[in-house]
Amino acid sequence: MDHNADAKKVVTRFAPSPTGFMHIGGIRTALFAYLYARKHNGTFILRIEDTDKEREVAGSIEQIKEALQWLGITWDYGPGTDTPFGSCIQSERLPTYLEFAHQLIAKGLAYPDPYTTEEVAAFKESAIAAKRPFLFRDHRPEVFETWDGTKPLRLKVPDIKRYTWHDEVRGELSAGEEMLDDVILIKSDGYPTYNFAHIIDDHLMGVTHIMRGDEFISSQPKFLSIYDALDIPYPTFVTLPPILRDDRTKKLGKRDGAKDILDYRTDGYLPEAMVNFLALTGWNPGTEQEVFSHDELITAFDISKIQKAGAVFNEEKLLWMNRQHLNALSNEAFMEYLLPAIPEQLSALPQYTINTLTRLVPTIRERINTLAEFHTEVTAGEYDWAFTAPDYETSILKWKNDTDATQALPRLKMALELLKNADFSSSETIKAALWPYAEEVGKGELLWPLRVCLSGKIQSPDPFTIAYSIGQVETLARIETACDKLQG
């Protein structure tokens, strides 16, 4: 389909500007560019577009790198790496942009803006007053001054026409000549604009496919006119659909409450789940498979299946996706996931040991979708029974008054005897030891009091699971104590 792809090695890039944290939309763009490069054994470049020193936020580059690294989105060239084309940070490439600027000046295709800011603003105002679109090219001077670098350098649009171009996702697109203008190439502070710099860099870095959000569609004619002026061939354009807010009223953006992608790490999402989920918003594999490993995504990814329409970011499904990836973990791997996130509320409990925690893992993993949920459960005391004996005063004794304790007592005593000789190597073997008796007296009649005296709770995992988690000694001790309390 893409004949160039066979001949030319695929090169894609992610080119964020360092203006703060990475959010969902940015990462999704990075991911698609990354997946496509990896699928075709191509090159993926991380380029920092720091040409607006006003908006720059200190530490952003490290944040961007950290977010990508967390998700396993690796780059071949990026800030600090050796490259055949110089730095991947635009502020370190200023002489290059200047060089191209002077080429345009020499060709008569660029000129210094002769007006003051106020004058330009006045042009704009009168255009608005006349209900006409403001176009700088209407005010282009007859004769160009020489450029001393203190004025903004503007493009002299080489060909004012309707542009039509091909987009791998959207098909044939076009826009009229009112979208063309003498845009600024180099700002008065010496930095290039995005319009100018990205085209030069993509060219010099050999980028074959540009993936970016649809907010750039409307400026595409301006870009194309710069390609033409510079005599640079067009790469393949791949427009990604927007990610929308819940209420669908807007694109998801930083100002609209979009979260820092690294917050999801804090909440305990697995990077593979995040990548899987992001890959599926705006793209589909064409099959009914939804859960993908990182490598499976690389294999399955395909530009032809990228969606045109915007997608709402659905946290509920992300949660489900995280569970899918959590389920794929071994108990050992799950333990590694859990261990750094054990709240003090849990580890400070009197019977807290790693062994008990290890036996509790199967119980924990069926109850949580994320670490954040784990913390919520811990805060609610959902696992306290594993590491501390129940508060008999508020559970057993209260229950004694409410129900028929005289009936429960002999059953608990019988269970105690049975458990003394039981095999505690799994909850199944514990269940096997008690089951015949439970069926004899009625399951609820035994299991219900047993669970309460082991956990102190009305709602909890089944008593066999509890017994296995806390071990034989503690199990017997708790039942004995409960019996004493009931008798006393």
Catalytic positions:
254
Dist. CA 273–CA 269, nearest whole Å? 7
Choose between 215 and 417: whose C-beta lies nearer to RNA: 215
Choose between 286 and 348: whose C-beta lies nearer to RNA: 286
Two structure tokens written together for 44: 């993926």
Choose between 39 and 139: whose C-beta lies nearer to RNA: 139
Choose between 228 and 373: whose C-beta lies nearer to RNA: 373
> CB of 337: closest distance to RNA in angstroms?
17
Dist. CA 368–CA 95, nearest whole Å? 54
CA distances from 299 to 28, 209, 269, 292 (A): 17, 18, 23, 10
Number of H helices, E strands in the chain: 22, 11
Choose between 43 and 465: whose C-beta lies nearer to RNA: 465
> CB of 433: closest distance to RNA in angstroms?
13
> CB of 41: closest distance to RNA in angstroms?
26
* DSSP symbols for 46-110: E-B----TTT--TTHHHHHHHHHHHTT---SB-TTS--TT--SBGGG-HHHHHHHHHHHHHTT-E
> CB of 343: closest distance to RNA in angstroms?
19
DSSP assignment letter at 200: H
Smallest CA-to-CA distance from 220 within 182, 173, 253, 185 is with 173
> CB of 189: closest distance to RNA in angstroms?
6
Choose between 314 and 481: whose C-beta lies nearer to RNA: 314
* DSSP symbols for 401-452: HHTTHHHHHHHHHHHHHHHHT---SSHHHHHHHHHHHHHHH-HHHHHHHHHH
CA distances from 148 to 24, 100, 192 (A): 42, 15, 15
> CB of 219: closest distance to RNA in angstroms?
5
Question: Checking phi first, is residue 36 left (phi over 0); if not, alpha (psi -120 to 50) or beta?
Answer: alpha
